[in-house]
Amino acid sequence: MEQVVIVDAVRTPMGRSKGGAFRHVRAEDLSAHLMRSLLSRNPSLDPAAIDDIYWGCVQQTLEQGFNIARNAALLAEIPHSVPATTVNRLCGSSMQALHDAARMIMTGDASVCLIGGVEHMGHVPMSHGVDFHPGLSRNVAKAAGMMGLTAEMLARLHGISREMQDQFAARSHARAWAATQSGAFKAEIIPTGGHDADGVLKSFNYDEVIRPGNDRGSAGCIKTRIRPGDRHRHGRNLLRTLRRRSRHVINERKSCPRAGAKTSRSRTFHGGGRL
């Protein structure tokens, strides 16, 4: 069985879903931008040598429909001979794309794959076009698919107070901002064109969703947002809806196109369900 290595990984900045930097940029264009950027960073990789492209996406409708992986690849001018597939495992879609590609290489069915993911929640809202089967209500609630409600129930089940969550969220934002200021994300973020609050076109190289002033004191005054009676989850300790694209190139170790480069090895993967 072949060993699999991650050769390079890049992403766009994380943009706010409503009124954010990428509000006028389509999901396919953001994805294609990353594909082109990753290939330009790895000039020894011949695009025609890519065996397959795996792209994670939850809401595969509107601009994210009709196999966005293939559409983005064509926009990036990757040769038509390179196939592409879009993968859906909801929040784990991009990770599943990585797993699928790694298995292809492990079994000898591929040598080089491009993997990524996209979710433009400002253009394609959560659950857009979804029609749940009525019979599912016999053993699962539609609301169980909401991550905010899941977090609320886990907080009650495990005794995680709102104060603890606010403290964790404030620390996370502070660390993310410190990492941004120190340039820790510089190597992975690809500058991407978007629009500022005044509608002026500019290049963004930082994550919009970080709140450097997200302190515990002010967070304690914010109303919860999930449903009436909830006690914990609000706008500053919830994971924000956003626009983001990420991308990896992986291949078998013996034919790594960047000899001597630092790589990460893909060893094992597993999936599991939840109620």
Which pLDDT band holds residue 150 (cuts at 50, 70, 90)? confident
DSSP percent split of the chain into helix, strand, coil, nearest 5: 35, 20, 45
Mean pLDDT value of segment 197-201: 95
The answer to whether 47 and 105 are in contact (CB under 8 A) is no
Q: How far apart are CA 152 and CA 57, in angstroms?
A: 25
71 SS3 class? helix
Paired residues of 120 in beta bridges: 243
Measured at the alpha carbon of residue 151, what is the angle toward residues 149 and 156, in degrees to the nearest 5? 95
pLDDT at residue 270 greater than cutoff 80: no
Residues in the chain: 275
Tell me what pLDDT residue 266 has. Answer: 57
Say if residue 84's pLDDT is above 50: yes
Find the DSSP H helices in the chain.
Answer: 27-41, 68-75, 93-106, 147-158, 162-182, 216-219
Question: What is the pLDDT at residue 215?
Answer: 63
Report pLDDT for 251: 79
Mean pLDDT of 25-42: 96
End-to-end CA distance of the chain: 34
Domain extents in the chain = 1-126+241-275, 142-239
Q: Report pTM.
A: 0.83
Bigger pLDDT: 251 vs 112: 112
Spell out a b/e string for 89-109, using b for 16 or more CB atoms within 10 Å of the CB, else e.
eeebbbbbbbbbbbebbeeee
Least confident of 124-138, 167-181, 190-204: 124-138
pLDDT score of 262 more than 80: no
Q: What is the mean pLDDT of residues 44-64?
A: 97
pLDDT at 227 > cutoff 90: no
167-190 residue pLDDT tens: 999 999 999 999 999 999 999 999
The reported pLDDT for the residue numbered 76 is 98
Question: What is the pLDDT of the chain when averaged over all its residues?
Answer: 86
E strands along the chain, which residues?
A: 4-11, 15-16, 52-56, 84-87, 112-120, 192-195, 201-204, 242-252, 264-266
What is the token pair recorded at 144?
A: 């169980």
Domain 1-126+241-275 sits in CATH at: 3.40.47.10
C-alpha span between 84 and 70 (Å, rounded): 5
Evaluate if residue 244 carries a pLDDT over 80.
Answer: no
pLDDT reported for residue 269: 59
Q: Is the pLDDT reported for residue 258 higher than 60?
A: no
Q: What is the rounded distance in angstroms from the CA atom of residue 184 to the CA atom of residue 192?
A: 17
Of 122, 165, 159, 148, nearest in space to 239 by CA:
148
- The phi, psi pair for 168, rounded to 5°, reads -65, -45
Percent of the chain with pLDDT over 90: 63
The pLDDT value given to residue 259: 45
The model's pLDDT over 210-220, given as tens digits with 9 standing for 90+, comes to: 988 766 555 55
Lowest-pLDDT range of 26-40, 165-179, 221-235? 221-235
- State residue 275's pLDDT score: 47
Residue 136's Cβ-side half-sphere holds a number of Cα atoms within 13 Å equal to 10
